[in-house]
Chain A
Amino acid sequence: MNQPALKEGLKWTADVLVIGGGPAGTWAALTAAAKGSKVILADKGYCGSSGATAPSGTGVWYVKPEAELREAAKASRYAMGGKLAEHRWMDRVLDRTYENMNRLGVSGYPFPVDEAGNPYRRGLQGPEYMRLMRKLVKKAGVTILDHSPVLQLLADEHGVAGAAGVRTQSGEAWSVQAGAVVIATGGCAFLSKALGCNVLTGDGYLFAAEAGASLSGMEFSNAYAICPTFSSVTKTAYYSYASFYYEDGSVVEGAGSKRGRSVIARNLLAGRQVFAKLDGADAELQPLLRTAQTNFFLPFDRRGINPFKDVFPVTLRLEGTVRGTGGIRITDESCGTGVPGLYAAGDAATRELICGGFTGGGSHNAAWAMSSGSFAGEGAAAYAARLGRHSYHRAPVGLSSSPLVHGEVKAGAAARTAEYVEAVQAEVKPYDINLFRTEQGLTSSLGRLDGLWTEQRSREIRLTPEGVKAREAQAMTATARWMYNSALARTETRGMHKREDFQGSDDTQHHRLISGGLDQVWVKTEEVAKESVLL
């Protein structure tokens, strides 16, 4: 399809284009620049504040290179993840994370020090971390395009060769022709308002699939966070200190922040509001909790609630693949996707390689972002270098599955997009479809989702900020279809994927599920690397 994106608007060339300016994107940009590439980084929002990491604090899978510690670290999520992680990848990520975290210390991240005076490097505060990453990226000579969402990838017969989009603050169309592209657009949380997640709408999955890449582990996409009903602050870890109550003050038996989340979900489904109170945190612990996650307490303080003493209503907010582990399938050690010139990193890529089907939330995702970002940045730089000057003489075309056109937004287009978004949310948010999965529930949902895709498929998308939202709706629809087709194919319970009609795990399904396709979604199995059973 010959799209007009290259004919008008702002145009740049680069060796490497990085899409997304969160942790994975910034590390990719840094490493590519260090290899001598001319790098452009385009963020949908603002590199430094965008995404799930920037507004909160996160643990990091930072483990000293001592054999015993490393083995324990690798074993920690292996069984819970349904034994789908791989030894070799865990080693690589642990090594690179260790290296990158130490580098952050040298670059000025203010790590706290322990009593012996040693820096403590097992956590990062998002605002501080991402402000520093922006500074380092700029210092490395990378051009940052803020508020510049991508609408489609560009490619020719040799592979991916750039991307095109619109600048939301000026309305100008833009395109970058590049030797290689790194997708670091994050996961998909379906505009659920989980903290910092509304920019994470699965755009990169759609771009990758349109280029012919596949996805992996999309059945591991039903992460929900415990959250006050009124708030966006999703920090489930703190609820390990919570007790859960009904309105009359009686205890919700079995409810908890880990496995007990299902109990909360079943009550909410039955129309019974659940309340929480962090009454398991003693007086000594409270100030520590307050300091370590400043924003956790912000909504409470501003509403005059003392969460250690007062009960407050909670809900489970969908975090989809942001804390799930599914994403773009990785086909080699440089985080290639199997499509020449296209790389994926961070939550946009599958995290099964290091945590299987169990949540990547917190430390693993943070480690994966900085490691896979570095691998992808190096891979993309090397690929672009091999192309050399040839990369500037290509004539790539747009890959969007819907026609992208210049021109005024049609009346009613925005309202239509909002309807599509709501319709997709109605399929992925409900606990009785997505958390407690059944053949019947998934099949009937897929019928509606397929219809939604077909309707949106032939929509003309304008190269305007409104068009960005229309593409987001498409990306979320496509994501939901890969999720549920994969969930349907996995007739067992493994990792976070729960089948009500298949409650145990089945040894014959110890494999990955690869998915892809746009009009026709397909799912097939892939063997897990043999050495992963060593643990």
Chain B
Amino acid sequence: MIEIISADRCVACNQCVSVCPTNVFDRVEDGIPVIARQSDCQTCFMCELYCPVDALYVAPDSEQLTGITEAELEEQELLGGYREKVGWGKGRQPVASHEFMVKLAARAGF
């Protein structure tokens, strides 16, 4: 479930409010968005992927809150990890074009 919006990183672009398929976030006048309907989160990680400044963290647990803190995320360098792997963001190569896709297909058939 979505657990963290980093106030330090968030630039209030409200991209997460737009892209969340289940409308979990709310815009805030003159502020950063808030997690308004946390239990509606389907743990699809799309908000994290679309966040241009790596300010969001979706915890892996889809059933309950883990209670992870922003300090722990910074320490474990977990913010932005998914976006980096997908290859989104300036100067990155999208994983969609990775040669391993072809290699896996040759070996596994999928």
B18 x A125 contact (CB < 8 A): no
By a CB distance below 8 angstroms, the chain B residues around A110 are: 94, 96-97
Task: Tell me if B59 is interfacial: C-beta within 8 Å of chain A.
Answer: yes
Query: Could you say which residues of chain B place their CB within 8 Å of the CB of A45?
Result: 20-23
Contact A49 B62 (CB under 8 A): no
Distance, CA A115 to CA B102, complexed state (A): 9
Give complex CA distance A115, B103 in Å: 10
Contact A292 B100 (CB under 8 A): yes
- Which of chain B's residues has its CB closest to A21's CB? B21
A109 adjacent to chain B (CB < 8 Å)? yes
- With A109-B96, A169-B23, A199-B21 in contact, is A285–B107 under 8 Å at CB? yes
Say yes or no for B4: interface residue by CB 8 A criterion: no
Asked if A112 and B101 sit within 8 Å, CB to CB, the answer is yes
Contact check, B105 vs A291: say whether CB atoms are below 8 A apart. no
Residue contact A123 to B100, C-beta cutoff 8 Å: no
B8-58, CB < 8 A from A: 17-23, 27, 40, 42-46, 49-50
Select one of A55, A146, A229, A291 contacting B101, CB under 8 A.
A291
Q: Check: A113 CB closer than 8 A to any chain B CB.
A: yes
Contacts of A120 in B (CB 8 A): 101-102, 105
Closest to A289 in B: B104
Q: Are A51 and B21 in contact (CB under 8 A)?
A: yes
Nearest-neighbour CB distance to chain B for A470, whole angstroms, equals: 15
Q: Which of A14-57 contact B (CB under 8 A)?
A: 44-46, 48-51, 54-55
The contact sample of 23 A-B pairs, CB cut-off 8 A, is A44-B21, A46-B18, A49-B20, A49-B21, A55-B44, A112-B97, A113-B97, A114-B102, A123-B105, A124-B96, A169-B27, A195-B42, A197-B42, A198-B40, A232-B62, A285-B104, A289-B104, A291-B95, A291-B100, A292-B98, A295-B82, A302-B78, A303-B60
Given A54-B44, A199-B21, A295-B82, 17 extra CB contacts under 8 A = A45-B22, A46-B21, A49-B46, A109-B96, A113-B99, A128-B86, A146-B18, A193-B43, A198-B42, A232-B62, A237-B110, A285-B104, A291-B95, A291-B104, A299-B60, A302-B59, A362-B110
